[in-house]
Structure 1
């Protein structure tokens, strides 16, 4: 009799655990760097020394651009991204420029670039390659479009244009 109760109890616990795992898998999007997945949260230092996380911007549409100071397409799109940040920030759109510092020749080169090209958008520094690992980047520049719920809705590997950005923003404004 006791064995029967223990067996039924163990079976009930197993069913609850399996049900919980299935529910969590179905009810929340997978985390990853692909379209339709929840963007991996990152915590990186800004140019002002304060840390910022991607989750700090939950509730806003985020354009996260990964760049390096030696990357010609990155340099060309940099002013456009800052312009988008200025024009759309009141509409709930934030642009984050993440310097892939671990890919730079020296950290000073990124700072020199920013001194020569001042911007208003937040600049974050991926000193340890955290973003490179979490997002499995294929090349620079790479731009992620992340909706208000933190889901990646699109990714562009290569230089973005004004038309490309506006086309991706239009459904969310």
Structure 2
């Protein structure tokens, strides 16, 4: 009789997970990939209001400016969000691999065109996250008729560092952050949006004096 302790079979031995540098950077952001259940990243000194649609907003006097968000777009141009001050800026965090991102993309393309046609001074900027190469992201934009620029951010470095502590920052993919005309964070959604919900985030800021 063998009284020794039985060793686990090779089939039951699980290799230790290795977290590559890219994933580690994304983990710092605690982005819930294709999830919308994350809670606010704000601290106790913030005054966020969550309405029934799951959109969080900040009163005008309590808003914080974003940090530097700039880089190369998917089409090889340079874009700095600071240059868009004076406009309402819609920042959409997305990835071509993300199902909810595919669901909301046609609505974003539609509203972007509507606001441009009406001259409402709204700029849309995508933040493309976790796509290992640009090809898939470029194909995504073509498939869904997205004509506004997206900054290529495969390691999520810009997303991690672009939003100040205690602000409404992106914590899921997709996330949508809307900046007021002063470049300050006014609203956030952590889930996919249709055109109606997106307009509910944008229209109050267009009307804001």
Query: Does the C-alpha gap of structure 1 residues 73 and 148 become closer, same or farther in structure 2, counting only changes over 3 Å?
Result: same
Q: Distance in 2 between matches of 1:86 and 1:115?
A: 15
Aligned to 1:73: 100
Q: Distance in 1 between matches of 2:76 and 2:132?
A: 21
- In the TM superposition, residue 168 of structure 1 has moved relative to its aligned partner by 1.9
2:162 is the counterpart of 1:162 = no
Gapped regions of structure 1 (runs ≥ 5)? 1-33
Who wins on radius of gyration, i.e. which is larger? 1
Aligned to 1:99: 128
> Deviating runs (4+, > 4 A) in structure 1?
none
Question: Helix, strand or coil for the counterpart of 1:48?
Answer: coil
Aligned to 1:149: 182
Query: Does the C-alpha gap of structure 1 residues 85 and 38 become closer, same or farther in structure 2, counting only changes over 3 Å?
Result: same
Aligned to 1:25: none
TM-score when scaled to structure 1? 0.72
User: Which shows bigger deviation, 106-115 or 42-51?
Assistant: 106-115
Q: Distance in 1 between matches of 2:134 and 2:148?
A: 19
Q: Is the 8 A contact 2:68 2:82 kept in 1?
A: yes
Question: Helix, strand or coil for the counterpart of 2:67?
Answer: coil
Aligned to 1:63: 90
- Compare the two structures and name the one with the higher helix fraction: 1
Q: Is the 8 A contact 2:92 2:175 kept in 1?
A: yes
Query: Does the C-alpha gap of structure 1 residues 115 and 170 become closer, same or farther in structure 2, counting only changes over 3 Å?
Result: closer
Kindly report the root-mean-square deviation, in angstroms, between the aligned alpha carbons of the 2 structures: 2.1
Aligned to 1:16: none
TM-score when scaled to structure 2? 0.60
Aligned length: 139
Aligned to 1:133: 160
Whose RCO is larger (CA < 8 A, sep 6+)? 2
- In the TM superposition, residue 157 of structure 1 has moved relative to its aligned partner by 0.5
